[in-house]
Each structure stands twice: as structure tokens, then as C-alpha cells.
Amino acid sequence: MSRIAFVNGKYISHATAYVHVEDRGYQFADGVYEVSAVWKGKIIDENLHFQRLKRSLQELSISMPMPINALKIISREIIRRNRITDGILYLQISRGVAPREHEFPKQSDQSVVMTARPIDWPEDLKSTGEEVITVDDIRWKRRDIKSISLLPNILAKQKAAAVNAYESWLIDEEGLITEGSSSNAWIVDDQNRIITRDLSENILGGVTRLTLIRLASENGLEVIERPFSISEAKNASEAFLTSTTSFIKGVRSIDGKTIRNGAVGPITAKLHKLYIQHCQTFETN
């Protein structure tokens, strides 16, 4: 079956789905995106993704190209046309096509692209966890915007890939961990308190992060939103990461320093279970 993409109002073959060479997304990374998980046909936390999309667009003064309900209809159509049961839905909106001048064009229609591809979701938590390395956070100062400008993120991820690690955790000027190159970073202290960096312009407010904080609190687990250092992370009783595509993954080591004998800890396992239950019982509206 050939894949289908939505590009600027049309459903077309993925193989020939292009945007214009003067699209500002292509030339300036002047756009935003969302990645959502499709679980048994449902778009997990769909409204939270659209809320974040709206906010990202607002922060860049890009108008919403159409109402959220219209984007929802296209999402469902892309999932249907690609026959996705479990998969990833990708949405990108750029400021549109205009002659290459840095300032905003007086008039441009936003480019809207949506794609979907199948994926097998990690319903079972790997008992051994993933390796993480740390690298300097060289990104801009508005990481709360889900911008398509991801050069520092891909450089950081590539550094991890080069040493067969799963993720890079990014370190700010004060030696504190902001987040991963494409995920949020978490630790658990010796009193089973769950710690993740507080929301600010320093990190992306992950949808998985938000949902997990809610699930943890509802289930009697304490979550503290505050920065933590590399050494605190390396000496933590558990460490894990979260994202739409990774769900919850245990961290076995940070820069080669083993966390908890390399075995995924009970709090990570509990949170993973809660998140899977959330996906199983999630209702799209």
C-alpha cells in the first residue's frame, strides 16, 4: 500500500509530497511541528498536542491555518488513508512560501503538512534501560516552542548514536540538565521522589511529561519539578526519559556511570504501567 501525505489542502502520494523551495520552513526553519502517538487508532493526548501547537504558533506570530477541528478531521483522514492502527502522526506548519527575506512576509499562506507511519509501540518496558550521554545544551533560549529548527538537537542525538547510546541529556551553563535531545529527563531520589525540570523557556513542555505528572500524582507518587545536576542524576536511585515516541524508557547509565546496577527501578516500572493504562483507556473526543 502506498503512503499518503496531506500537503496544503490535498491528499497526495507520499513519494511525491513536496513543499516549495521558497517555503520559509525549508529556508529558515520558520515553523512548528507536533508528533503524536496513534495507539489502536486513537490519537493519544490529542487535545494536549493541539494546545501546544496553538501556543507554539502564537509565540511565533504564525496564524492558525484552520480551526483545530479541521486539523482533527485531517488527522483522522491521514490515519485512515494510511491504514494506521499503531503509529506516529506528524504535523508541520510553516509560515508559508514567500521570497527569501528575513522579516515576515506581508502575506503568505501557512504550509500545512501531515504524514503518518506505522510503528510497534513498546508495551513492555525493557528491564535493562538505555544508555545516555551528556552534552552541552547549545540551543536557543525558547525551547518551549516546538520549532522545526532542530539542528542542536540532531547534533546531540548524533553524538549519542556515535557511541551507541540512546539519548543525549543536555547540560546548561550551570551544569544542570535541561532535557534530552528529543525527550524529557527524569530522576528518582532515595525517597522515591520523582524529579523533572520545571517548565520554563528552558525546556519543551512534553505532553508525555504533563500526562505522567498527572498520573503520578493521582497514584500517590510525589513529583518535584526542579532542575537537577549531572552528578545528582548520576547518583540517582532511578533515571528515565519520556517522549511521545519513546513512552517511558529506563536509563541504565549516564556517561558510563551505572544507575541502580543497570536495572530499571520500581518507580520507572510503575510509571510505565500507568502510562500504558492511560493509552489503553484513553478516549478521543
Stretch that binds ligand PDD, among 60-68, 124-132, 238-246, 252-260 (CB under 6 A): 238-246
CB of 108 or CB of 244, closer to ligand PDD: 244
Counting contacts by CB under 6 A, is residue 134 touching ligand PDD?
A: no
Report how far residue 68's alpha carbon sits from residue 37's, in angstroms, rounded to the nearest whole number.
17
First to last CA, the chain: 29
Instruction: Render the burial of 57-68: b for 16+ CB within 10 Å, e for the rest.
Output: beebebeebeee
146 is catalytic: yes
Counting contacts by CB under 6 A, is residue 196 touching ligand PDD?
A: no
Counting contacts by CB under 6 A, is residue 244 touching ligand PDD?
A: yes
Residue 252 carries which side chain, given as an amino acid letter?
Answer: R
Stretch that binds ligand PDD, among 21-29, 106-114, 181-189, 224-232 (CB under 6 A): 181-189
Please check whether residue 197 is in contact with residue 241, taking contact to mean a CB–CB distance below 8 angstroms.
no
Stretch that binds ligand PDD, among 18-26, 59-67, 179-187, 222-230 (CB under 6 A): 179-187
User: How many binding residues for ligand PDD (CB under 6 A)?
Assistant: 15
Which residues face 167 on adjacent strands?
A: 132
Counting contacts by CB under 6 A, is residue 207 touching ligand PDD?
A: yes
Query: Which class for 102: exposed (0-12), middle (13-18), buried (19 or more C-beta within 10 A)?
Result: exposed
4 sits in the region (left: phi over 0; alpha: psi -120 to 50; else beta) called beta
Catalytic residue among 42, 126, 146, 257: 146
Instruction: Write out the residues near ligand PDD by the rule CB under 6 A.
Output: 35, 153, 179, 182-184, 204, 206-209, 242-245
